[in-house]
């Protein structure tokens, strides 16, 4: 074991934290050596999470000596944990939203707190390796994207960058319940969530500024105008995103030729991106279960005037822990796919 690859997880007891532990166990070149979790401090990891019993660690109140840390704390609390680590020179992948937005004012507007270290926002790299691979490789602080933004940005990036569509974009996402976390709530209560579907956050979800920021970086003018509605559906894992936009006039041919050109654009954009698969058919979240892939199907609707792009991810893997490990791999100079090759568990 290379001494520079001791890994820690802050707040291992949420679903993102526990998924990090699962995936790191399979990683051949790093070692998970320290995990924290206030409510469960002092307990064996395998006692709280029996599926992790093969990992012989005790949950601590504070991280031990590590070389890279994942923070799976909630927003606002995460920054408090991350800032001291950065000062000690430790690399950090922050799963929370605390360093994703470039404009500190957005934290006041969307999260209701004054950002404690605005200077770090510019330094932090937005951890979507399909867009920022080289910057991530040299970063000390990577802000792991939100689950919805991962699916939405990957679905739209090629079209936005190429100027294929008008700026008015509708993003309709359907998420499994694990996206709401392990903290108890009525909306995650089994009998309420089972056999139900609902839209939520109609007055604006916190992932909206993140999506807007990144699509705007891909094509600043005219700036995108995003309508984003998330939905909860009765399954544990997975996000399917359906994105709609009007094709800009003259950009895409009618009929099969247009569809072919669209597929080529997407395939070229994601060439050498090992975790994006551009598909000729509509993807199922089931085919990403437990796996770091993002499946994307771009298409043109019957009228020939609308772009529709569907993306599917596992919200806890490509939408959280898997992407965080992909980022870690890049930060540590390891192959991007290391430890992430296990196939999806189907059916």
Integer Cα distance of 152 and 168 in angstroms: 14
CB 136 within 8 A of CB 327: yes
CB 347 within 8 A of CB 194: no
Q: Name the nearest CA neighbour of 11 among 80, 67, 109.
A: 80
Whose structure tokens read 């089931």? 286
Residue 286 binds to a second copy (criterion: CB under 8 A):
yes
| Least spacing, CB of residue 305 vs a second copy, in Å | 7
Residue 304 binds to a second copy (criterion: CB under 8 A):
no
CB within 8 Å of 45: residues ≥ 6 apart: 12, 21, 35, 52, 53, 55, 57, 58, 59
Selected binder of a second copy within 83, 117, 137, 279 (CB under 8 A): 279
How many C-beta atoms surround the C-beta of residue 292 within 10 A? 25
| Least spacing, CB of residue 13 vs a second copy, in Å | 11
Residue 160 binds to a second copy (criterion: CB under 8 A):
no
Residue 229 binds to a second copy (criterion: CB under 8 A):
yes
Residue 284 binds to a second copy (criterion: CB under 8 A):
yes
CB 214 within 8 A of CB 131: yes
Residue 315 binds to a second copy (criterion: CB under 8 A):
no
Is there a catalytic annotation at residue 147?
A: yes
Is residue 232 within a helix (H) or strand (E), and if so which, with residue range? strand 225-232
Residue 341 binds to a second copy (criterion: CB under 8 A):
yes
Bridge partners, residue 244, by sequence: 170, 308
Catalytic residue among 24, 72, 128, 147: 147
CB within 8 Å of 95: residues ≥ 6 apart: 16, 20, 70, 71, 72, 78, 144, 320, 321, 324
Nearer to a second copy, 45 or 162 (CB): 45
Selected binder of a second copy within 29, 104, 167, 244 (CB under 8 A): 244
Selected binder of a second copy within 39, 138, 191, 221 (CB under 8 A): 191
Nearer to a second copy, 39 or 138 (CB): 39
The binding track of 17-56 with respect to a second copy, each residue x by CB under 8 A or -, is -x---x--xx----------------------xxxxxx--
Selected binder of a second copy within 186, 249, 256, 333 (CB under 8 A): 186
How many C-beta atoms surround the C-beta of residue 253 within 10 A? 14
- By CB under 8 A, the residues from 85 to 114 that bind a second copy are none
Residue 1 binds to a second copy (criterion: CB under 8 A):
no
Residue 194 binds to a second copy (criterion: CB under 8 A):
yes
Residue 184 binds to a second copy (criterion: CB under 8 A):
yes
Residue 234 binds to a second copy (criterion: CB under 8 A):
yes
CB 240 within 8 A of CB 174: yes
Is residue 214 within a helix (H) or strand (E), and if so which, with residue range? helix 208-218
Catalytic positions: 147
């Amino acid at each position: 074991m290379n001494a520079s690859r001791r890994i820690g997880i802050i707040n291992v007891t949420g679903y993102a934290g526990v998924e990090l532990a699962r995936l790191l166990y399979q990683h051949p070149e790093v070692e998970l050596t320290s995990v924290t979790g206030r409510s469960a401090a002092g307990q064996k990891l395998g006692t709280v999470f029996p599926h992790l019993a093969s990992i012989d660690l005790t949950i601590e109140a504070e991280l031990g000596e590590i070389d890279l840390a994942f923070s799976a704390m909630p927003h606002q609390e995460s920054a408090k944990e991350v800032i001291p680590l950065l000062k000690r020179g430790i690399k950090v992948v922050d799963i929370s939203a605390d360093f994703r937005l470039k404009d500190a004012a957005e934290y006041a507007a969307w999260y209701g707190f004054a950002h404690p270290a605005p200077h770090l926002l510019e330094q932090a790299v937005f951890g979507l390796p399909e867009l920022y691979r080289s910057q991530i490789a040299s970063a000390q602080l990577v802000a792991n994207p939100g689950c919805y933004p991962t699916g939405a940005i990957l679905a739209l990036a090629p079209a936005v960058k190429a100027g294929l569509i008008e700026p008015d974009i509708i993003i309709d996402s359907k998420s499994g319940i694990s996206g709401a976390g392990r903290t108890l709530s009525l909306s995650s209560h089994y009998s309420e969530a089972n056999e139900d579907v609902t839209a939520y956050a109609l007055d604006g979800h916190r992932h909206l500024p993140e999506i807007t920021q990144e699509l705007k970086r891909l094509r600043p003018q005219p700036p995108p105008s995003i309508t984003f509605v998330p939905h909860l559906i009765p399954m544990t894992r997975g996000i399917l995103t359906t994105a709609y936009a009007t094709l800009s006039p003259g950009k895409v041919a009618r009929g099969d030729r247009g569809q072919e050109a669209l597929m080529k654009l997407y395939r070229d954009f994601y060439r050498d991106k090992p975790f994006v698969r551009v598909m000729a058919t509509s993807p199922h979240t089931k085919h990403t279960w437990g796996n770091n892939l993002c499946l994307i199907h771009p298409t043109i609707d019957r009228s020939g005037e609308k772009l529709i792009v569907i993306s599917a991810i596992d919200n806890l893997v490509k939408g959280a822990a898997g992407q965080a490990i992909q980022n870690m791999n890049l930060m540590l100079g390891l192959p991007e796919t290391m430890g992430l090759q296990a196939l999806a568990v189907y059916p």
